Structure 1
Amino acid sequence: MSRPELLVLSGLTPPGVEAVVTRIRALDPSVAVLHHDLRDVGRGVVRRRLRTRDDDVTTTVELAHGCVSCTMREDLLPQLVALAGPDGPARIVLHLDAALEPEHVCWSLLHVLVDGAPVVDAVDLRGVVTVVDTATWFDDATGEAALPERGLSDLPDDERTVAQVAVAQAEFADLIVPVDTADAWELARLDAVLARLAPAAPRVRIRELDERVFAPGAARRGRPDDVHAALLRGTPPLDGDCGVRLVLFSARRPFHPERLHDALDVLLDGVVRTRGRIWLATRPDAVLWLESAGGGLKVGHAGDWLDGAGPEVWEAASDERRAIAALGWHPRFGDRAQELVVLSHAADPDEIDAVLREALLTDLELAAGEDAWRELPDPFGWWHTDPCSPAADAVAGPEHRSEEEH
């Protein structure tokens, strides 16, 4: 029996997302559209809407615990499996709440079990479509507003910014649909950003959407990237356009934790996105993952370097990771390295590079050795956000980006 095709639809603009839903339903009236409204999830209430060819039904779902993960586990994922039954539609659109990041949802589709099996055993995950409002997305992606300030979340512990969600939705897309209108300069700058943020995702206007929406050409099909994979996905332009530029930073010596902490502001001013792996002198075994969007930044634990690790770590590593490590192996530091990709729109690329290099250990500090490095002041917790949050730094236990965020 063939599985129904599943398309994940995301975006911060409800009218734009609804316009795409309307277009898809016009192309194929048999499509089922499932949406969970999470505006009141903090109070344990979720409104589920299911649209099919014949019905449009909204159901109020009460949860024992008001959180996004409970909604996913207790209702959203089981509903998808039920829709995928023998009498269900051949195509399903999962219309995400505006505050949801599609990578997290897709991780759940791939790994959370429903009746003993992941949801992707019941559906054919075709990819992610993200709707971008050309008049507002750039300001959203470079701002500092928190989700609650925009009425997008009522969860007291949700410290994400609108920028983090906007960037994550576009970055993970297999297809981007621009909606609304903006002037020529704003459109050119937005195009320059998206070409570097999601280079493999075609950008298609609503009027041009056709059956291919269910088969994006270079689709990752909802598969999250490994944090140890190459940081540049696809072939983004490396030259500048409209002030937008990719800055590639790499180094083969550790960061001084305190100096790096002081340098983080350079990644928050005039920058759309930063992502990559860092190595702190105080933690020679730990791979730390750093990512920023607009005015928000976070650092978390992403496992261990292969150098000095046991055989089980090597066996668990992907072929790509082992190949990258072997190609760049350092006689003293093994696979340890600083690797960051910074997408800037107003920042000076040379200043970014210079500030980060000043945060590395000096030759004298490097010569002092690892015992001396461990004594350096270290303001980073296992989980760190910037602006600094005592509550965030108090999170106990190592943070694995590939697991904990989903």
Structure 2
Amino acid sequence: MPLPPRVPLVLVSGLAPARNDELAALLRAGPGTAVVHHDLRHIGSGVVRRRLRLGNRDELTALELAHGCVNCTLREDLLPLLRRLARMPQVDRIVVRLDEAMEPEPVSWAIRNVLVGDRPVIHDVEPEAVCTVLDCASWLADATGDDLLAERGLQGSPEDERTLAQVALSQVESADVLVLAGAATDAWGAAKASAVLDRVAPSVPRVELGRIDAAGLLAAVPADARRGAVTDLHGALLRGAPPLHPDCGIELLTFTAQRPFHPQRLHDAIDVLLEGVVRTRGRAWVASQPDVAFWIESAGGGLGIGHAGPWLASPEGPDWAEVSPERRTLASLRWDPVHGDRAQELVIVTDQATPDEVEAALRGALLTDAELAEGEAVWRGYPDPFGDWHEDPCDATEEDETDRHVNAANRKDETP
């Protein structure tokens, strides 16, 4: 017996609650569209408020969770609910209006990988689009500032230390279409926000809320859109062709090197990614841990450092046939006869900092010729400030094949 068709699924994300509600209302154009919203504002008390709208039905439910966190909300309620809605004959589209604290990519990963019963929910729903709403009056300040989610009452759990900038940029980078709402406070702010978006999401189309209907919005999604596909941490760091020239003080730097970082000097230099830098994403090779790729992200005053899984050349590395064609191609292009695919590759969007000063600081953290000649046995003995990895106190949704334990989500004055 053939399986029933999957129900289209749209994710709506953004930092401005009223703007997110506006877009969700726009997408709820037909009677067969179900709109789901989990409000996390009371999650510190173990309560999540779920609103479900379908046709004339407008249902508000208070959910009590054993652990107040985004992952528990996903596993215990959202994923089972998506399955139930997808099996209702009157539902022909589902819109998940994500809480402001939620990033689309972990939700998309859970839909594809977390078992609900005997299989993931991806068997029931078909990701159609990830739409991120930007409030033009506030997005640039949020994406370049140091404020924590907690300072705005937007955290996804009592332990959530992410900054607004980290969430704002993650939401943009996950989007298939950006929905611009309202107007910037001035022409300079509008131009600068555009320059940032051109560099962090160069291939993502932008539409204006209020000048487009639901059909037009979904038609704007490119044919090759990710539709929630999870980032390959060993794949290309930018999709599309970002401009290489400076614009409104915004510049793009690609830092590459085929020798490892000294762990202590990298630790000392990493503040360069927190001063005058809008965004950093990429892989790092640290001499004291040569078998695992580090993943580094910064946004505004927030920094995250984690493991991105083993290099292909590592003893425990995956087989070439097990990784994506994109990863195989990138590894082949830089393959070293001794160190294999180990390399530094960071994409950095700067604002007040200059690319030259950022590059100089990072190059100064690389091993010298003399240290390089000492070899791996000596490198492994270097004092390593990155040696202790954080594990979430709540059993978090597993990541893909990578081991992305976040070790820091810090402000400038709290780097590890």
The TM-score, its normalising length taken from structure 2, stands at 0.90
Number of residue equivalences: 394
Return the letter of the residue paired with 1:114: V
SS in 1 for 2:319: helix
Output the amino acid matched with 1:255: F
Gaps of 5+ in 1: 385-390, 393-398
Aligned partners of 1:300 and 1:382 also within 8 Å: no
Cross-structure match for 2:279: 273
Deviation readout 1:124-150 (Å, 9 max, x if unpaired): 111210001111111111122221111
CA separation of 1:85/1:206 partners in 2, compared to 1, >3 Å: closer, same or farther? same
Deviation for aligned residue 1:112: 0.8
Aligned position for 1:395: none
**So what's the TM-score if we normalise by structure 1?**
0.92
Q: How does 1:209-220 map to 2 (within 5 A)?
A: 209-210=212-213, 211-215=215-219, 216-217=221-222, 218-220=224-226
- Cα distance in 2 between the residues matched to 1:362 and 1:175: 44
Cα deviation code 1:172-228 (max 9, x no counterpart): 111111112111111111111111111121110012323143351141010011101
Quick check: 1:299–1:383 contact (8 Å CA) kept in 2? no
Cα separation, 1, equivalents of 2:346 and 2:43: 35
Q: How far 1:22 moved relative to its partner?
A: 2.4
Query: For residues 311 and 163 of structure 1, do their structure 2 counterparts lie closer, same or farther at Cα, with a shift above 3 Å needed?
Result: closer
Q: Deviations over 1:351-386 (max 9, x none)?
A: 1111100110111111222222222221113537xx
What does residue range 7-26 of structure 1 map to in structure 2 within 5 Å?
7-25=10-28
CA contact (8 A) 1:23 1:209 kept: no
Deviation at 1:403, TM superposition (A): 5.7
Matched residue, 1:6: 9
Q: Which amino acid is 2:103 matched to?
A: E
How far off is 1:260 after superposition?
A: 0.7
1:184 maps to 2:175: no
* Shift in CA distance, 314/382, structure 1 to aligned 2, threshold 3 Å: farther
Are residues 1:198 and 2:204 paired? no
- 1:301 aligns to 2:307 (yes or no): yes
Residues 122 and 266 of structure 1, relative CA distance in 2, 3 Å threshold? same
Give yes or no for contact 1:257–1:378 (8 Å, CA) kept in 2. yes
The corresponding residue for 2:412 is none
Cα distance in 1 for partners of 2:201, 2:318 equals: 33
Q: In structure 2, how many angstroms separate the alpha carbons of the residues matched to 1:109 and 1:379? A: 35
How many Å separate the matches in 2 of 1:401 and 1:143? Answer: 32
The Cα of 1:236 is off from its aligned counterpart by: 1.6
8 Å contact kept, 1:239–1:245: yes
Aligned residues with identical type, % of pairs: 53
Matched position secondary structure for 1:330: coil
2:288 to 277, 282, 289: 282
* SS of corresponding position for 1:263: helix
**Kept after mapping to 2: 8 A contact 1:301/1:401:** no
Structure 2 gaps, min length 5: 393-398, 407-416
> How far apart, in 2, do the equivalents of 1:375 and 1:252 lie?
20
1:29, distance to aligned residue in structure 2 (A)? 4.4
Cα shift readout 1:334-366 (whole Å, capped 9, x = no counterpart):
111000000112210111111100110111111
Shift of 1:312: 4.8
For the residues of structure 2 that align with 1:311 and 1:51, how far apart are their CA atoms? 47
Paired residue for 2:374, among 357, 365, 368?
368
Q: SS of the residue aligned with 2:210?
A: helix
| Counterpart residue number, 1:354 | 360
Structure 1, 123-132 or 311-320: larger mean CA deviation? 311-320
What is the deviation of 1:60?
1.0
RMSD of equivalent CA atoms: 2.1
1:310 is displaced (CA, Å) by 5.2
Report how far residue 153 of structure 1 moved.
2.1
Structure 1 residue 261 displacement after superposition = 0.6
